[in-house]
Amino acid sequence: MLLARQNFALCVFRSYSSQRLLTISNHKPLPFRAPALYTYSTQPKAITHEHQNQPPAQFSLTLNPPTSTLPPPLLLPTSEPNLPATEKLKFYYRTGKAYLAFYKTGVKALWQNYKLVRQLRLRIPSGQSAEEALRAGLLSRGEYHLIRRTKSDVSRVPLFILVLAICGEFTPIVVLFLGLSGAVPRICHVPRQIDGAREKAEARRRESFREGTIASAEETEKVEDMQQLPRPIMLHVSRSLGLYSPLWDRIGVVPTILLPRRIQKAVERIDVDDLAIERGGGVKHLSEEELKLAAEERGLDVVGRPRDELGSVLGRWIDARKRASTIDLLCRRPSAWPRA
């Protein structure tokens, strides 16, 4: 196991010390090619009859970022009941190796994404944000989310590599039991970690709605600066979007001074994403996982919802945005959104 950890650390070091960058013309679209390091496709998959009760449809490469921005498949060994002690040890060893391979694949994919982002940034004028470039049509929605997710994941790499070097195959146990999900790049989140985070986020959102935070359209439409938001609405929106840790609620001291700027940035991201989805042909062209991520970003519940229902709710959101502000929709359940 120690040798496997050393080999993994050496691989990561070599990857991050490499300075070879691909060049790209500003006049040619960036092709998403699957590097040899990937063990999973970088192209969004088409719907098939085997996993959808609807006619096959092709997902838009313009709207969907490469699937290399998502966690790779986690292939765990199977175990038979009542195994002897020696076989159990072998099973645990194979399980540890499977997790190590999962993390290694995720980090390699992140490195490839980082190189793609370096190319994409050549299209963006100096001083312009990714949101501004998307609004101006310099980036597609898929490219925009590739940049966003890679930037977020790369910032977590140093601490994650340290945890991985210390804990090795036991990293998932340490992350889950010590609550270190924030230190792990999203591309390396295991399925249990993702499901647990979603369930906690939705439980927190339900609790916030139970407190009775309902904003009137008149109240939110008049707000031009997030500093002017009433405190109950500010707290509800922040909890709904996960803009601050639940720990602050437990200790009774919420950093409200930081929330207006975070809300403003979140609203800007949602608004430009709404524009990009409409411009790209609508929610029907989003893959199932992208539908879930888009719904999460708008404070919508996704656990247990089939693809059709998610697409319907997200489509209603984009339609309701024509008649209400983002803050107004965030403070209401979908049943209370304005209709045509």
**What values do phi and psi take at 62, rounded to 5?**
-75, -40
User: How far is the C-alpha of 56 from the C-alpha of 126, rounded, in Å?
Assistant: 41
Buried b / exposed e over 148-171, threshold 16 CB at 10 Å, is bbbeebbebbeebbebbeebbbeb
User: How far is the C-alpha of 10 from the C-alpha of 7, rounded, in Å?
Assistant: 5
Burial class (CB in 10 A: 0-12, 13-18, 19+), 44: buried
- pLDDT (tens place) for every residue of the chain, 340 residues total: 444 444 444 454 344 434 333 333 333 333 433 333 333 443 333 333 232 333 234 577 789 999 999 999 999 888 777 778 888 888 888 888 898 899 999 999 999 999 999 999 999 999 899 999 999 999 999 999 999 999 999 999 998 988 888 888 788 888 877 777 788 899 999 998 899 999 999 999 999 998 865 555 456 655 667 888 888 889 999 999 999 988 888 888 888 899 999 999 999 999 999 999 999 999 999 999 999 999 999 999 999 999 999 999 999 999 999 998 999 999 999 998 988 7
Q: How many residues comprise the chain?
A: 340
Buried b / exposed e over 220-251, threshold 16 CB at 10 Å, is beebeebeebeeebbbbbbbbbbbbeeeeeee
The whole model's pTM is what?
Answer: 0.79
CA angle in degrees (0–180, nearest 5) for 242-248-249: 85
Inter-residue contact 48 to 37 (CB < 8 Å): no
